[in-house]
A and B are shown apart, each in its own frame.
Chain A
Amino acid sequence: NAGVTQTPKFQVLKTGQSMTLQCAQDMNHNSMYWYRQDPGMGLRLIYYSASEGTTDKGEVPNGYNVSRLNKREFSLRLESAAPSQTSVYFCASSETGLNTEAFFGQGTRLTVV
């Protein structure tokens, strides 16, 4: 049971570099999420996708773009990384519905220097 798979697990970028965080789920979930976790700030929603082909901004979307490539995959792109984007990034997925728990990937620790 792979669940939600994120790659890479660790990444160091220089300011201004770009990169894409990959996320794939094998549970046939409609909803997918990208969060960032910073000390003392909890998990903040960056982008959300309710279904294939749809994406919506969350609480902190600036500096990020997303792509829901298909039902399985939801990628997060940093076009020009900034030190403020140093964080741990989590991808998650869930069934559609109010009471459906979200399943999380293992996280990506990103450092921008």
Chain B
Amino acid sequence: AQKITQTQPGMFVQEKEAVTLDCTYDTSDPSYGLFWYKQPSSGEMIFLIYQGSYDQQNATEGRYSLNFQKARKSANLVISASQLGDSAMYFCAMREGARGSTLGRLYFGRGTQLTVWP
């Protein structure tokens, strides 16, 4: 089973609007961390935001926020006031913290291609 599921292969949003990119995860580990990365067309991987499983509040970093719903095992990325430069591939990732066999590994989803139009 996939540890990270991103069900939206592509999303479109108009400039200045908000957009939500979905991510669900699968783990039985009580301790885990969730990450979002951005990959522009140039190919580099850019870290955006982190949420820990024990964090009480949703993480925010500038225009990025993470809508963390632990019971639903979802960690959706919300981008407010979209900009043309936000057009990129976005990846959700998870690291488990306590189970020995997968300790430390960072697993990625298949990504969502976001296109921001003027």
Contacts and interface: CB of A to CB of B under 8 A. Distances in A.
A50 B111 CA distance: 25
A19 interface: no
Nearest to B101: A56
Interface of A: 31, 33, 35, 40-45, 48, 50, 56, 58-59, 88, 90, 92, 94, 96, 98-99, 101-104, 106-107
A102 B91 contact: no
Say whether chain A's binding surface is mostly helix, strand, loop, or mixed.
strand
Given A42-B109, A98-B95, A102-B93, 4 more contacts: A40-B110, A43-B93, A101-B50, A102-B35
A71 to B, nearest CB: 15
Contact of A42 (B35, B104, B110): B110
Contact of A98 (B32, B47, B111): B32
B111 A48 contact: no
B107 A98 contact: no
Interface string B22-49: 0000000001110100000001110100
Interface residues of B, number: 26
A101 to B, nearest CB: 4
Contacts of B32: 98
B52 A99 contact: yes
A41 B110 contact: yes
19 contacts: A40-B110, A41-B110, A42-B91, A42-B108, A42-B109, A43-B108, A45-B105, A45-B107, A48-B104, A59-B107, A88-B43, A98-B32, A99-B33, A99-B50, A99-B52, A101-B35, A101-B50, A104-B44, A104-B45
